[in-house]
Amino acid sequence: MKNYFINSFVQNHFATVRYTIHVENEHSETVNSTFVLPIPKDTFIANFSAIIDGVEYAGEMVLNENISTEDNGTNTQNALTAQVRKRLIDDPKRNIFEIDLTLAADKETTFIVTYYEQLIRKGSHYKQRLIVEPGQLVDTLLVNAIFLEDQGFETFSYMLPMANDFHDASSDLASLLETPTKRSLLYQLSRDQQLAASNQGVAGEVIITYDLNYTQGAGMVDVKDEYFVHYFTPSGLKPIDKNILFVLDTSGSMAGIKIQQLRESMLTILDNLNPDDNFNILRFESNTSTLFDYPVEANLTNIEEAMILVRDTIKAGGGTAINDALLEAIISLKALPNKSRRAQLIFFLTDGGATVGVTSRKKILQNVKSENDGSISIYCLGFGINSDDKFLKELTKENRGIYAKIPEDT
């Protein structure tokens, strides 16, 4: 494999993604190879073709159970035999396609695989995943992603393969160009840059998240030929009922102004709860404890009991068992019998520094992601000038939430 290109074009949340792979046989004899191409699960393969000597030949994709010994795939003048098959795997996020090649001596070919994807707004944003896994070092690796949204962008961020941070502007390895209705992201690595990351080449995903400006009350109508699509984000509707679990860090690191701010924040939040919501409070330091056995109605009696707890009994002390607290919170919400009829939310109030049990930020993120089945959104309030903003931002990004920092002078 010489070059590995991904070109993505998204217009009004509809993506057309094209993989272009250049392969060359520099040997004096025929070579058999298999290339693996993973793509996101909810996509539609539109085209597979091969270009040889300037001529494009259409290919055919088959499920692996439909392959027979007589099936020779795409055969072009004995220069190339290619077969693309879908591997049956139990993976909720991706499909795997295998490209079997028989490439004649001293021949070069270009494979093109195109798929369509309708991006769906979940939580508070749209997300696109571009899987970048050539499986080896290549001369040039390039991802070019263009987004056109007539409503304009409210937010836009991206994370590169083998990285842990999202960016909302150009970074060391990627450039981002912006206009009110367009974003252009270019990620390109030379062979040396790939080698610096891994001697096996790049393996990961370019993840793009964004949301739009919803200033048009009637939404937006997109017309093409005799078809139209009406996009709208309605306002003024009754809020969905929620189960809310407040996870409060009362460890020693929260002493002083931070625990005072936590109390004040919680008293304000409790005073503004929707009467149709259910809520509970989980406190943690080295250990955990809950106010109620399960989320209760946000009525005056329960809110007053919660306010007494927050105002009179919360004090800072002990270690910080973030991993245990978050996992207990997720497990308790997942166990609720009526969870399917309510939104599940965790509000995590902390300075973000784990000192007890699992303390690795990466491991905590992995554990939370593994336990959360995607039905629970995690929102964070970070306290103090030394709050672990990077960790808390990543936690909310991976769990469909929002992070806000509370300055000490607030």
Question: Exposure string (b/e) for 209-233, b if CB count within 10 Å is 16 or more?
Answer: bbbbebeeeeebeeeeeeeeeebee
Residue-range domains of the chain with CATH:
3-212 (2.60.40), 242-406 (3.40.50.410)
| Tokens linked to 70 | 């007589």
Q: What is the predicted pLDDT for the residue at 67?
A: 41
Q: With the C-alpha atoms ordered 163, 167, 173, 177, is the resulting torsion angle positive or negative? A: positive
Q: What is the predicted pLDDT for the residue at 68?
A: 38
Q: CB atoms < 10 A from the CB of 68, how many?
A: 7
**Low-confidence stretches of the chain (pLDDT beneath 70):** 59-90, 123, 215-238, 338-340, 409-410
Give the whole-angstrom CA distance, residue 398 versus residue 400: 6
**Residue 370, class by beta-carbon neighbours within 10 Å (0-12 exposed, 13-18 middle, 19+ buried)?**
exposed
Give the whole-angstrom CA distance, residue 147 versus residue 145: 7
Q: What is the predicted pLDDT for the residue at 60?
A: 60
The contacts of residue 260 (CB under 8 Å, 6+ apart) are none
Chain position carrying tokens 């009362």: 250
Provide the whole-model pTM.
0.56
Helix (H) or strand (E) holding 330: helix 322-334
Closest CA relative to residue 155, chosen from 145, 164, 166, 144:
166
Distances (CA, A) of 357 to 249, 276, 333, 394: 15, 36, 22, 20
Q: What is the predicted pLDDT for the residue at 296?
A: 94
The CA angle 410-345-294, to the nearest 5 degrees, is: 110
Closest CA relative to residue 145, chosen from 288, 5, 255:
5
Give a three-class secondary structure readout of 136-169.
CCCCEEEEEEEEECCCCEEEEEEECCCCCCCECC
Q: What is the predicted pLDDT for the residue at 135?
A: 86
Instruction: Name the amino acid, one letter, at 254.
Output: M
**Residue 408, class by beta-carbon neighbours within 10 Å (0-12 exposed, 13-18 middle, 19+ buried)?**
middle
Q: What is the predicted pLDDT for the residue at 286?
A: 93
CA torsion 37→40→41→44, rounded to 10°? -80
Q: What is the predicted pLDDT for the residue at 26?
A: 80
Give the whole-angstrom CA distance, residue 207 versus residue 132: 10
Give the whole-angstrom CA distance, residue 401 versus residue 378: 5
Give the whole-angstrom CA distance, residue 130 versus residue 161: 9
